[in-house]
Amino acid sequence: MSQPSTIHLKDYLPPAFLIDQVELDVDLHLENTRVVSRLHLRRNPQRPEPGLPLELHGQELTLHSIQVNGAPFSDYQLTESGITLHHLPDQAVLETQVEISPAQNTALEGLYISGGHFCTQCEAEGFRRITYYLDRPDVLARFRTRISADAARYPVLLSNGNLIEQGQLEGGRHFVCWEDPFPKPAYLFALVGGQLHAVKDQFTTLSGRKVALELWVEEENLHKGQHALTSLKKAMQWDETVYGREYDLDIYMIVAVNDFNMGAMENKGLNIFNSACVLADPKSATDRAFHRVESVVAHEYFHNWSGNRVTCRDWFQLSLKEGFTVFRDQQFSADQHSAAVERIQNVALLRTAQFAEDAGPTAHPVRPESYIEINNFYTLTIYEKGAEIVRMLAELLGWPTFRRGSDLYFERFDGQAVTIEDFVACMAEVSGQDLSQFMRWYHQAGTPQLRVERHYDPAARTFTLTLHQQTPPTPGQSDKQPLLIPVKLGLLDAQGQDLPLILKGEALGDETVIHLREASQSWVFEQLDAAPLPSLLRGFSAPVKLDYPRTDAELALQLTQDSDGFNRWEAGQKLALNAIDALIQQQQQGQDLQLHPSLVSAFAALLQDHQDPMMLAELLQLPSEAYIAEQYACVDIDAIHIARDYARKMLATRFYDAFLALYQRFDLQAPWSAEPEQLAARQLKNTCLAYLVATESEAAFTLAQQQFEQADNMTDQLAALTALAHAEDPAQGQAALRAFEQRWQQDALVMDSWFSVQVTRPYADALDRLHQLKTHPAFSMKNPNKVRALLGAFCQQNPSRFHRRDGAGYAALADAVIELNQLNPQIAARLVLPLTRHQRMDDHRKAQMKAELQRIQDQPLSPDVYEVVSKALA
């Protein structure tokens, strides 16, 4: 493997040729699939330089023949990354015949086998593993796809668009022909062949067109398909109502596959899903899994407009489709469930994982300037921070104007491949706002820090709020410019009620959004009889770190009284962070641990108010170890674990009776349903169960055991299993783990949870379990879900064990990365990320982490792993 090269945005050039029409003929065989492709080419008027050659991408293809306009063609060179054809006429039909081997494809890009079925994954650059092509998103072509295969083994053959022909062939084979009327980039191509069965439904669009909905699964999973179809119909309707977007083909198909690198893929008219993101029934899937299915189904559906009808010019624009589509799926979920809880959960992910990414060696702007391997850029920054930027735009413009900007964008660029600038220009045009400073959000990496100062002047009855912003340096970007930061705020009186806001004589109601543009800026609020308490960054109106010192009493007031649900939760998190910080310091100084009374009184207040059980379940969660770690310049991983654990156990003991009462009250004893009341009840009840079991009392273990045995749904069963299996005494969970394995060994998705539960045990034996489980018959390094369930869960969700002082956790990860680098580079490059977060670790661990990275670096590496590891060692 040669030294991989870097691709730069500044080098972008339009392609030398365009492709109007593609005719593919794919003859499916496990070891030697034959692909004939006919490309209807013409020179691109945007590239007038005479005689430009055509450079087609191709990877791991065996070339059999090339013809141009029906005659053999020899004026070409094979290169490392494809083929260069010289002296082509201005218009030509280029026919290539290649052979590929799906059975050997463990990278799961291009055409591969999953569970005995043929399937494809072409984003970002998988199509070049199927045939020679201009595999770039700014080349949009109409596809006609003929597939032939053994009729008995592969009775179902699918591709994009409409089925136009099918028939029998000799030798027990058959064929189908699909045609997609919408020009599309190759990354949206898909093909499936297998013994699949469909759950079918129908949707009538706003304008009265009937769309056939088909979910294709293995026969034994038919009963797990209904929820995805219901979710799809909700999403279709929501996009019509909220964004005025209708579906455009007569059929929408989804296929579930077991081996998939990501969550799902929005291929035109033929989505391919990781089975974990589409299959769900109450017996085997948790409420969280149901929610994931709903939101991923919606996400892929929304891509039909934000991504497919209007696509990206190049991969540097990835967040154009992903940021916007994540924002849309978050809006959808907020409309289906509790908006505040949805926001809390999205922000929790952003502030732990994305902020950590933005502070580490792989930090990059939402619109990057360069990359080695684009697959490494499907990141939380592109997706989640990208969505935050779109959310800020919507906040700055107001929804009706934002919606007009969205309409303009879809209308103006329908059928085109465009840039992030094009999107923001539509928003600027409809609003009349100058968004040039706002564009820095796309160009600057790193999480901005916002420092708050406040000053009340009793004589003038004014309150001055001063905000200072600063973005830390990130790799390749040492100096940062001030950003335009929308800060939504209210001012609370001593009872926590919103005060009227008056700025420069203008009455602004109870809540407003101020626009911070300078490095430091002040606002003077008038006519205030006493010092107010600002409730800042309501709804987390910008993805920033807020340095806003408040007293415990002020935090407690916000926790119970703030009219903004997000800020109530945020105040509680801050109270908990303060209390845990005090414990960390006591631990570091060798003192006895003492939990600060403010957190105890906060819990006492919370446990008396059951108005909103879903919200209460969130409010009762202590910040994760990962989020606690985010607060420190030098992370003391052991002290964090001990402090948080101590706080959890103290609260559990102190409020045992209250948790038990709440548990009993919300243990509905009714058959499972997906009704919001039941969802909330399960969530709260299981939060209480975790606290009860944290006391390690016999009574609590008995309760968990009973729940484990009697549960009629996976949410309750898994919550009980986790409580038992995470007890300090490993014997507590043994019987339940065995029973669970017996019951579910045939269900790969449930077994993923069984693996994760064991390796996330926060005790010394977790790593031994991991080593044992790697040899379990249900585990496979070739299946990404299994790798994530075992290795991913251990490294990301069990920080104190992954960061064991002896370095054995790091070594286990490095071993797995080295093995996976050969099998599946994309997954290897993701798995290695926890090892790259060494910056803020103590010197001992930092050295060990770097040594393991170096051990990886000393191997012959895929570009994927090379890029991540070399950045982490730079």
Instruction: Name the helix (H) or strand (E) containing 264.
Output: strand 264-265
* Bridge partner residues of 401 (DSSP): none
Per-residue contact track with Zn ion, 232 to 261, x per CB under 5 A?
------------------------------
Total number of residues that touch ligand 0A1 (CB under 6 A)? 14
Among 23, 95, 214, 266, which residue sits at the site for ligand 0A1 (rule: CB under 6 A)? 266
Applying CB under 5 A, which part among 161-169, 324-332, 656-664, 798-806 lies near Zn ion?
A: 324-332
Q: Which is nearer to Zn ion, 82 or 185 (CB)?
A: 185
Question: Closest distance between ligand 0A1 and the C-beta of residue 812, in Å?
Answer: 25
Q: Which is nearer to Zn ion, 136 or 303 (CB)?
A: 303
Q: Which is nearer to ligand 0A1, 54 or 828 (CB)?
A: 828
**Rounded Cα gap, residues 830 and 834, in angstroms:** 9
**Rounded Cα gap, residues 804 and 743, in angstroms:** 33
Among 286, 362, 375, 824, which residue sits at the site for ligand 0A1 (rule: CB under 6 A)? 375
| HEC profile of 274-326 | EHHHCCCCCCCCCHHHHHHHHHHHHHHHHCCCECCCEEECCHHHHHHHHHHHH
**Rounded Cα gap, residues 385 and 379, in angstroms:** 9
Torsions phi, psi of 810, nearest 5? -65, -40
Question: Closest distance between ligand 0A1 and the C-beta of residue 829, in Å?
Answer: 11
Applying CB under 5 A, which part among 30-38, 198-206, 314-322, 774-782 lies near Zn ion?
A: 314-322
Q: Which is nearer to ligand 0A1, 260 or 441 (CB)?
A: 260
- Which has the closest alpha carbon to 284: 594, 652, 720, 743? 743
Task: Restricting to residues 64-83, name those near ligand 0A1 by CB under 6 A.
Answer: none
DSSP string, 176-212: EEEEEEEEE-GGG--EEEES-EEEEEEEE-TTS-EEE
What does 261 interact with, of ligand 0A1, Zn ion, none (CB < 5 to 8 A by kind)?
ligand 0A1
Question: Closest distance between Zn ion and the C-beta of residue 303, in Å?
Answer: 6
Total number of residues that touch Zn ion (CB under 5 A)? 2
Query: CB of 377 within 8 A of CB of 364?
Result: yes
Q: Which is nearer to ligand 0A1, 107 or 542 (CB)?
A: 107
Secondary structure class of 436 (helix, strand, coil): coil
Number of helices (H) and strands (E) in the chain: give both, helices first.
31, 33
Q: Which is nearer to ligand 0A1, 732 or 824 (CB)?
A: 824
**Rounded Cα gap, residues 349 and 540, in angstroms:** 13
Applying CB under 6 A, which part among 240-248, 262-270, 768-776, 817-825 lies near ligand 0A1?
A: 262-270
* Number of residue whose CB is nearest ligand 0A1: 262
Among 257, 264, 583, 827, which residue sits at the site for ligand 0A1 (rule: CB under 6 A)? 264
Applying CB under 6 A, which part among 263-271, 423-431, 672-680, 798-806 lies near ligand 0A1?
A: 263-271
**Rounded Cα gap, residues 1 and 100, in angstroms:** 20
Per-residue contact track with ligand 0A1, 306 to 345, x per CB under 6 A?
----------------x-----------------------
Query: CB of 424 within 8 A of CB of 438?
Result: yes
Query: CB of 655 within 8 A of CB of 604?
Result: yes
What does 320 interact with, of Zn ion, ligand 0A1, none (CB < 5 to 8 A by kind)?
none
Outline where DSSP puts E strands in 437-528: 449-457, 462-470, 485-492, 502-503, 506-507, 512-516, 520-525
Question: Closest distance between ligand 0A1 and the C-beta of residue 824, in Å?
Answer: 11
Contact call for residue 267 and ligand 0A1 (CB under 6 A) = no
Question: Closest distance between ligand 0A1 and the C-beta of residue 275, in Å?
Answer: 14
> Which residues are within 8 A (CB) of 66 and not within 5 positions of it... i.e. 6 or more apart?
72, 73, 74, 76, 85, 94, 95, 96, 97
> Which residues are within 8 A (CB) of 768 and not within 5 positions of it... i.e. 6 or more apart?
none
* 300 catalytic residue (yes or no): yes
Contact call for residue 378 and ligand 0A1 (CB under 6 A) = yes
Question: Closest distance between ligand 0A1 and the C-beta of residue 711, in Å?
Answer: 32
Q: Which is nearer to Zn ion, 320 or 556 (CB)?
A: 320
Task: Restricting to residues 274-303, name those near ligand 0A1 by CB under 6 A.
Answer: 299-300
Q: Which is nearer to ligand 0A1, 17 or 377 (CB)?
A: 377
Applying CB under 6 A, which part among 35-43, 49-57, 259-267, 614-622 lies near ligand 0A1?
A: 259-267
Q: Which is nearer to Zn ion, 25 or 322 (CB)?
A: 322
Identify residue 803 by its one-letter amino acid code. H
Q: Which is nearer to ligand 0A1, 266 or 867 (CB)?
A: 266
Secondary structure class of 174 (helix, strand, coil): strand
Question: Closest distance between ligand 0A1 and the C-beta of residue 119, in Å?
Answer: 12
Which residue among 23, 214, 218, 300 is the active-site one?
300
**Rounded Cα gap, residues 246 and 772, in angstroms:** 51
What does 384 interact with, of ligand 0A1, Zn ion, none (CB < 5 to 8 A by kind)?
none
- Which has the closest alpha carbon to 265: 409, 112, 418? 112
Task: Restricting to residues 107-146, name those near ligand 0A1 by CB under 6 A.
Answer: 121, 123-124
> Which residues are within 8 A (CB) of 233 and not within 5 positions of it... i.e. 6 or more apart?
201, 203, 213
Question: Closest distance between ligand 0A1 and the C-beta of residue 266, in Å?
Answer: 6
R_g (Cα) of the chain, nearest Å: 28
Question: Closest distance between ligand 0A1 and the C-beta of residue 656, in Å?
Answer: 44
**Torsion-angle region of residue 669: left (phi > 0), alpha (psi -120 to 50) or beta?**
left
Q: CA separation (Å) from 439 to 310, 400, 421, 436, 742?
A: 20, 21, 8, 5, 55
Catalytic residues: 300
Residue numbers at the binding site for ligand 0A1 (CB under 6 A): 121, 123-124, 261-266, 299-300, 322, 375, 378
Residue numbers at the binding site for Zn ion (CB under 5 A): 322, 325
